[in-house]
C-alpha cells in the first residue's frame, strides 16, 4: 500500500468502451462509455434517471462487486489500475445519509476508513479532528451518531471520506435529502476540501445550480449509451439545453412546469388549533400549530430538517394521535364519522385521507405493481370490474403500464415515487398528504408529479405536501405553512435535532 502522501495526490480516471450489466438484467445499466478525467478536475455528472450515473460512480469507486454481481464491459481505470485495486484512492459518499453511518460515535465513524487503510493509531485522531473541522461538524468525538440531523449525518459521511485523503472524491446526490441550508453547508464543505487538497471531484446531482459555482466541467451520460455532452459548464448548458432538459436535467433558474390558478370553489377539510404533535406520548416535537387545509388547494409545509414536519403530516393523515390541541375534520371530509381522524378505522381512512410516505419502500405490501394498486380498492370491497378499471387508468396515466407485473422494490426511484402516489389516490381520497413528494427526482418526474397533483387539486382534492423544494413551493403550491426553528422543551430535553 502506498503511503499517505501518495494517497492524497489527485487521481485520474479513464474509461474505454466501459459498461456494466447488473446480474439478472438483460440490458446493461451503462455501456459504450469513453471518457478521461484528469487529476484535479471537478466534474458535474448529469443524465436522466436510469442513465447509469450511479453505476458509473460506484464503478469508479470499485464497489460494484464481483462476477456474481454483474458483468463488466470494456475497461475502467483509476490511475492506470482497476478501481477495486485502487481502493482508498477514492472516497464515495452515497445519497442516503442514514445508510452510511457505520459506528455509534462521531469520532469512531470518521476513524473507520483510516483503520481500514492501516493508518497508525497516533496519526488517526489528528486526521479525524481535521476532517471534522473541514466539514464544519463542530461536535465532540464522543457524540452519538444516532442523534445527528440529516444534514449533520451527510457531513459526517463526507468527513469519513475526507479523513482518508482520497485523490478522488465521488459524491452521489449528496444533498438530495437536505433542507436548503444543509445543501449549502455540504456544498461549501466540499468546495473547501477540494480547494485544500486539489483532489479530483465527481458529483452527481439533478439540480445543476447548486454545484455550478464549484465545478469546471460537465459530463452528461446518454441513457442510450455513451455521452450526451462533455465540456465546460457554460458551454455545455448553452449548447445542449434542449437535450439536457429532455433527459430530466434540472437546468439553472428553470422550473419544469407551473401550476395554473386554483379552482374558485373551496371548503375547509381539516382545521388544527393549538395542535401538538409527536410520535411518543408526552414528548411533543412541535406545539401550538394553527392550520387549515382546504379542498381544491395545495398547502406546502416547509421548515428546516427536524422541526417536526413529517410528524405533523402523519398526524394530519390520521395515523398519529394529536398530543394536544385539536385537529378536526369537517363534515365534507368525515362524511358521517366523528371529526377526529385518528379514531377512524384503517379502512375508513381510504376514501377520506391518502398518505404518501417519505420513503416509498415503507408502504409497499405486495409483489407486483398491479397488486400494489389493488390493495386499496380491494380493502374498499369494490367489484372486480371497477377495481380493474381504476387500476388500468392509473397505470396508464402514470406511465406504469409496462411495469404492471414488476416487483415494486425493483423500480427506479422516480417510478417508485409515482407508484406510491398512485396507490394513495387509487381509493379517491378527499385529502392527500405527501411527505417530500419531489425529493431526489429529476425534472421529468418532477413535472409529472406536479401535473398529477394539480390535476387532483382541480378536481377538488385537498393536498398537503411536506417539502424542502423551493421550486415546488413557488410554482405549484397555493399556500404555505412554515414551521420555524424554535425547539419545544421536550425536544431540547431529549437532545434530538432530527425528527
Residues 6+ apart with CB under 8 A from 387: 374, 377, 378
Distance CA 162, CA 331 (A): 56
Q: Which window, 58-66, 130-138, 230-238, 262-270, contacts another protein (CB under 8 A)?
A: 58-66
Contact call for residue 380 and another protein (CB under 8 A): yes
Contact call for residue 168 and another protein (CB under 8 A): no
| Residue 272 Cβ vs another protein, minimum distance, rounded to whole Å | 19
Crossing angle of helices 121-134 and 180-197, rounded to 10°? 130
Mask: binding to another protein, 315-334, rule CB under 8 A, as x and -?
Answer: --x-xx--------------
Residue 3: count other Cβ atoms within 10 Å of its Cβ. Answer: 7
Cell for 200? 479530483
DSSP secondary structure code for residue 381 in this structure: T
Residues 276, 281, 286: CA angle, nearest 5 degrees: 25
| Residue 319 Cβ vs another protein, minimum distance, rounded to whole Å | 4
CB 223, CB 50: distance < 8 Å: yes
| Residue 253 Cβ vs another protein, minimum distance, rounded to whole Å | 34
Instruction: Return the residue matching grid coordinates 394539480.
Output: 454
Contact call for residue 55 and another protein (CB under 8 A): no
| Residue 431 Cβ vs another protein, minimum distance, rounded to whole Å | 12
CB 308, CB 294: distance < 8 Å: no
Mask: binding to another protein, 179-208, rule CB under 8 A, as x and -?
Answer: ------------------------------
Q: Which window, 11-19, 178-186, 331-339, 356-364, contacts another protein (CB under 8 A)?
A: 356-364
Closer to another protein by CB, 218 or 422: give it.
Answer: 422
Closer to another protein by CB, 240 or 309: give it.
Answer: 309
Provide φ and ψ at 278, rounded to 5°: -175, 160
Mask: binding to another protein, 415-444, rule CB under 8 A, as x and -?
Answer: --------xx--x-----------------
Distance CA 331, CA 72 (A): 60
Give the Å distances, CA to CA, from 349 to 56, 284, 355: 43, 24, 10
| Residue 424 Cβ vs another protein, minimum distance, rounded to whole Å | 8
Task: Tell me which residue of 275, 358, 354, 355 sits closest to 312, measured CA to CA.
Answer: 275
Give the Å distances, CA to CA, from 70 to 21, 44, 162: 5, 26, 29
Using DSSP's 3-state secondary structure scheme, residue 304 falls into coil
| Residue 232 Cβ vs another protein, minimum distance, rounded to whole Å | 29
Mask: binding to another protein, 395-414, rule CB under 8 A, as x and -?
Answer: --------------x-----
Q: 289 - beta bridge partners?
A: 275
Closer to another protein by CB, 1 or 238: give it.
Answer: 1
- For 164-203, b where at least 16 C-beta lie within 10 A, e where not — what string? bbbbbbbbbbbbbbbbeebbebbbebbbebbeebebbbbb
Mask: binding to another protein, 227-266, rule CB under 8 A, as x and -?
Answer: ----------------------------------------
Contact call for residue 349 and another protein (CB under 8 A): yes
Mask: binding to another protein, 272-311, rule CB under 8 A, as x and -?
Answer: -------x--------------------------------
Cell for 356? 404518501
Contact call for residue 2 and another protein (CB under 8 A): no
Which 90-149 positions form the footprint of another protein (CB under 8 A)?
A: 90-92, 94, 96, 98-105, 107-108, 111-121, 124-125, 128, 142, 144-146
Q: Strand 30-37 vs strand 353-356: parallel, antiparallel, or unpaired?
A: unpaired
Closer to another protein by CB, 259 or 422: give it.
Answer: 422
| Residue 418 Cβ vs another protein, minimum distance, rounded to whole Å | 17
Task: Tell me which residue of 32, 14, 174 sits closest to 92, measured CA to CA.
Answer: 174
| Residue 411 Cβ vs another protein, minimum distance, rounded to whole Å | 13
| Residue 247 Cβ vs another protein, minimum distance, rounded to whole Å | 26
| Residue 433 Cβ vs another protein, minimum distance, rounded to whole Å | 9
Contact call for residue 354 and another protein (CB under 8 A): yes
Amino acid at each position: 500500500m502506498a503511503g499517505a502522501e501518495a494517497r492524497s495526490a489527485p487521481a485520474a480516471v479513464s474509461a474505454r468502451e466501459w459498461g456494466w450489466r447488473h446480474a439478472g438484467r438483460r440490458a446493461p445499466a451503462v455501456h459504450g462509455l469513453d471518457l478521461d478525467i484528469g487529476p484535479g478536475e471537478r466534474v458535474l455528472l448529469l443524465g436522466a434517471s436510469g442513465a447509469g450515473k450511479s453505476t458509473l460512480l460506484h464503478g469508479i469507486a470499485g464497489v460494484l462487486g464481483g462476477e456474481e454481481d454483474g458483468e463488466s464491459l470494456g475497461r475502467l481505470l483509476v490511475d492506470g489500475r482497476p478501481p477495486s485495486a485502487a481502493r482508498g484512492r477514492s472516497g464515495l459518499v452515497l445519497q442516503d445519509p442514514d445508510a452510511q453511518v457505520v459506528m455509534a460515535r462521531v469520532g469512531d465513524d470518521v476513524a473507520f476508513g483510516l483503520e481500514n487503510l492501516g493508518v497508525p493509531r497516533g496519526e488517526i485522531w489528528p486526521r479525524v479532528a481535521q476532517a471534522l473541522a473541514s466539514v464544519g461538524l463542530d461536535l465532540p468525538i464522543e457524540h452519538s451518531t444516532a442523534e445527528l440531523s440529516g444534514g449533520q449525518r451527510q457531513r459526517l459521511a463526507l468527513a469519513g471520506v475526507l479523513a482518508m485523503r482520497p485523490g478522488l472524491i465521488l459524491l452521489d446526490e449528496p444533498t438530495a435529502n437536505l433542507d436548503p441550508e444543509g445543501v449549502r453547508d455540504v456544498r461549501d464543505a466540499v468546495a473547501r476540501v477540494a480547494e485544500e487538497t486539489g483532489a479530483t471531484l465527481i458529483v452527481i446531482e439533478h439540480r445543476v445550480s447548486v454545484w455550478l459555482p464549484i465545478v469546471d466541467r460537465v459530463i452528461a451520460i446518454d441513457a442510450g449509451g455513451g455521452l450526451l455532452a462533455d465540456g465546460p459548464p457554460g458551454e455545455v448548458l448553452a449548447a445542449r439545453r434542449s437535450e439536457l432538459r429532455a433527459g430530466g436535467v434540472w437546468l439553472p433558474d428553470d422550473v419544469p412546469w407551473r401550476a395554473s390558478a386554483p379552482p374558485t370553489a373551496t371548503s375547509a377539510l381539516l382545521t388544527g388549533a393549538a395542535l401538538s404533535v409527536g410520535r411518543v406520548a408526552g414528548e411533543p416535537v412541535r406545539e401550538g400549530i394553527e392550520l387549515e387545509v382546504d379542498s381544491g388547494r395545495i398547502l406546502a409545509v416547509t421548515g428546516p430538517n427536524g422541526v417536526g414536519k413529517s410528524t405533523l403530516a402523519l398526524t394530519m393523515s390520521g395515523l398519529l394521535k394529536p398530543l394536544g390541541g385539536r385537529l378536526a375534520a369537517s363534515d365534507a371530509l368525515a362524511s358521517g364519522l366523528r371529526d377526529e381522524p385518528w379514531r377512524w378505522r384503517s379502512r375508513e381512512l381510504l376514501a377520506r385521507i391518502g398518505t404518501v410516505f417519505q420513503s416509498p419502500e415503507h408502504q409497499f405490501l405486495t409483489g407486483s405493481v398491479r397488486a400494489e394498486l389493488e390493495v386499496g380498492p380491494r380493502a374498499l370491497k369494490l367489484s372486480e370490474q371497477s377495481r380493474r378499471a381504476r387500476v388500468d387508468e392509473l397505470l396508464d396515466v402514470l406511465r406504469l403500464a409496462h411495469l404492471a407485473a414488476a416487483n415494486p422494490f425493483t423500480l427506479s426511484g422516480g417510478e417508485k415515487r409515482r407508484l406510491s402516489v398512485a396507490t394513495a389516490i387509487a381509493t379517491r381520497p378527499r385529502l392527500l398528504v405527501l411527505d417530500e413528494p419531489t425529493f431526489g427526482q429529476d425534472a421529468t418526474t418532477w413535472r409529472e408529479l406536479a401535473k398529477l397533483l394539480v390535476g387532483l387539486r382541480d378536481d377538488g382534492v385537498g393536498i398537503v405536501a411536506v417539502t424542502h423544494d423551493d421550486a415546488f413551493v413557488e410554482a405549484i403550491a397555493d399556500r404555505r405553512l412554515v414551521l420555524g426553528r424554535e425547539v419545544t422543551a421536550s425536544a431540547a430535553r431529549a437532545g434530538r435535532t432530527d425528527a
